[in-house]
């Protein structure tokens, strides 16, 4: 029961913040992909910097354990590219499509329907994909620092530095 209440609470908070940050708008999503309006990158990168630091601390003091998604080369490269194409066409990612519907943008309902069909197609295609595409190299569930043989701190610091540089650039260019 805890599980469901915690999920609903976190989701409500996240939906509210996405809405207030204006991240749920079609204009903002396509605006970011056309490099005209970086609202969603400002939101995402800010969330990631704080989350990286917070989760690293929570992990180091033993409060949580990480759950990396596997770095399967064929899956990530093909899936990532397909997602990019679909995202630019429909204008939403799964979470923002649901949120956009909550904001009254009812065209997002067709995006959600398409996503349900896409999920079904993937389930149907999975056995075949497992015999083909997914047999490419699999690096396993590893972190970037482990992959490049570095401690976590420099990666967090480097990422934060790059993000802050981007923020400075966005503000300078008025994006």
Partner 1 sequence: MNDSGSERRDGWNPYLAGVLAGVLAVCSAVATAQLTDKARFFGTSTTFVHVTTFLMRQMSRMQPGHRISFAQDQRIADWQFMLVVGILCGALLGALSDGSFKSEGVPPIWSTRFGGSWRVRAVGGFVGGIVAMFGARLAGGCPSGHGLSGLMQLSLSGFVALALFFGVGWITARLLYRGGAR
Q: Should residue 175 be labelled a site residue for partner 1 when binding is judged by CB under 8 A?
A: no
Residues 52-71 that bind partner 1 (CB under 8 A): 52, 54-56, 58, 63-71
The binder of partner 1 chosen from 131, 132, 152, 172 (CB under 8 A):
152
Q: How far apart are the two ends of the chain, measured CA to CA in Å?
A: 43
Q: Should residue 132 be labelled a site residue for partner 1 when binding is judged by CB under 8 A?
A: no
The binder of partner 1 chosen from 27, 132, 135, 154 (CB under 8 A):
27
**Cα 5 to chain center, whole Å?**
23
Q: Should residue 33 be labelled a site residue for partner 1 when binding is judged by CB under 8 A?
A: yes
**What gap in Å lies between CA 74 and CA 129, rounded to an integer?**
10
In the complex with partner 1, which residue's Cβ is closer, 144 or 169? 144
Rounded to 10°, the helix 26-33/39-60 angle is: 90
Q: Should residue 160 be labelled a site residue for partner 1 when binding is judged by CB under 8 A?
A: no
Q: Should residue 81 be labelled a site residue for partner 1 when binding is judged by CB under 8 A?
A: yes
The b-or-e profile of 38-77 (16+ CB within 10 A means b, else e) is bbbbbbebeeebeebeeeeeeeeeeeeeeeeeebbeebee
The binder of partner 1 chosen from 60, 131, 142, 160 (CB under 8 A):
142
């Amino acid at each position: 029961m805890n599980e469901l209440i915690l999920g609903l609470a976190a989701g409500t908070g996240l939906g509210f913040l996405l809405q207030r940050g204006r991240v749920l708008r079609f204009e903002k999503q396509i605006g970011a992909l056309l490099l005209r309006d970086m609202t969603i990158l400002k939101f995402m990168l800010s969330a990631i910097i704080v989350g990286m630091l917070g989760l690293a601390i929570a992990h180091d003091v033993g409060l949580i354990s990480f759950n990396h998604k596997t770095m399967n080369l064929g899956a990530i490269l093909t899936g990532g590219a397909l997602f990019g194409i679909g995202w630019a066409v429909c204008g939403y990612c799964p979470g923002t499509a649901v949120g956009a519907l909550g904001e009254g943008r009812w065209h997002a309902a067709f995006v959600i329907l398409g996503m349900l069909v896409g999920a079904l197609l993937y389930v149907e295609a999975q056995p075949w994909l497992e015999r083909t595409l997914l047999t490419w190299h699999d690096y396993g569930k590893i972190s970037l620092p482990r992959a490049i043989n570095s401690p976590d701190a420099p990666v967090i610091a480097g990422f934060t530095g790059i993000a802050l540089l981007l923020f400075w650039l966005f503000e300078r260019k008025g994006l």
